[in-house]
Amino acid sequence: MQEYFTIFYELVFGFFALFIVTKLLGKSQISQITAFDFISALLLGELVGNALFDPNAGVLKIAFVVAIYGALMYVTEAITQRYKRTRSLIEGSPAIVIYNGKLIRDTMKKNKLDIDQLQHLLRAKDVFSIREVEFAILEANGTLSVLKGSDYQTPTRKDLKLAAQDVDLSTTLINDGEIIYDNLKEKNLNEEWLMEQLIEQGYNQIEDVFYAEYTKDQKLLVLPFLNRNHQKWKI
């Protein structure tokens, strides 16, 4: 029993220690995983995993492992921010694989990218034919950035010579049957106004509403919970 308790508190400690390190390193370590980040994450997982199940390792050793990892990642990030030439070596650099509608075979070969893989990446960008692509750039994290040819681009309001419109960010007011009071206050709204809007749409209590979204000058979007038989939405 003591062994399980030891694993439990070491695992909890390791979890929060890694969480703190991740927050300190910034979101880019999560959203933009390069080859270097992938290798370092595997290394960290191996070190922490071994420390957890090593009977001779304790919280101090796990803390030491996490601290060393955090320090190395922080120093590496600082170096790449200060010395631009090191970025391509450590983080990699983007490569153009389609230029003026033509495949750059040498670049694809250098990055170990075949046609099937390229087509998969293009489909993820809603592009189902290479003829639609004017430029395609393989980013350092393995994603593909695509610029379509003019004949395949979606026209904008400017292209159609339409008057510009204000763009408003939608705000969640109810989530999982609970009012988000901070969002309500941010939009200079109150609970009385919210209830009036719900009643107009046939909802007499907050608990009936799963999700409600507010957008300026538009009707409140209200999505109810499923009814008890889970066969259709409550109307």
pLDDT at 16 exceeding the cut of 70: no
For residue 223, list its beta bridge partners. 211
3 state DSSP class of 159: coil
Catalogue the E-assigned strands of 80-195.
95-99, 102-103, 133-138, 144-148, 171-175, 178-179
Residues 112-135: tens digit of each pLDDT: 888 888 999 999 999 999 999 999
The amino acid that residue 14 corresponds to is G
How much is the pLDDT for 82? Answer: 79
Alpha-carbon distance of 130 to 101, in angstroms, equals: 8
3 state DSSP class of 15: helix
Alpha-carbon distance of 198 to 205, in angstroms, equals: 8
- Name every residue whose Cβ is closer than 8 Å to that of residue 28 and which is 6 or more positions away in sequence: none
pLDDT at 25 exceeding the cut of 60: no
At 59, is the pLDDT very low, low, confident or very high (cuts 50, 70, 90)?
low
How much is the pLDDT for 155? Answer: 84
Inter-residue contact 212 to 173 (CB < 8 Å): yes
Alpha-carbon distance of 149 to 161, in angstroms, equals: 20
pLDDT at 173 exceeding the cut of 80: yes
Greater model confidence, 53 or 185: 185
Render the burial of 173-206: b for 16+ CB within 10 Å, e for the rest.
bbeeeebeeebbeeeeeeeeebeebbeeeebeeb
CA distances for 175 relative to 184, 204, 227, angstroms:
12, 16, 17
Q: Which of 16-20, 119-123, 179-183, 185-189 has the lowest mean pLDDT?
A: 16-20
Q: pTM surpassing 0.75?
A: no
3 state DSSP class of 180: coil
- Name every residue whose Cβ is closer than 8 Å to that of residue 163 and which is 6 or more positions away in sequence: 157
Inter-residue contact 140 to 94 (CB < 8 Å): yes
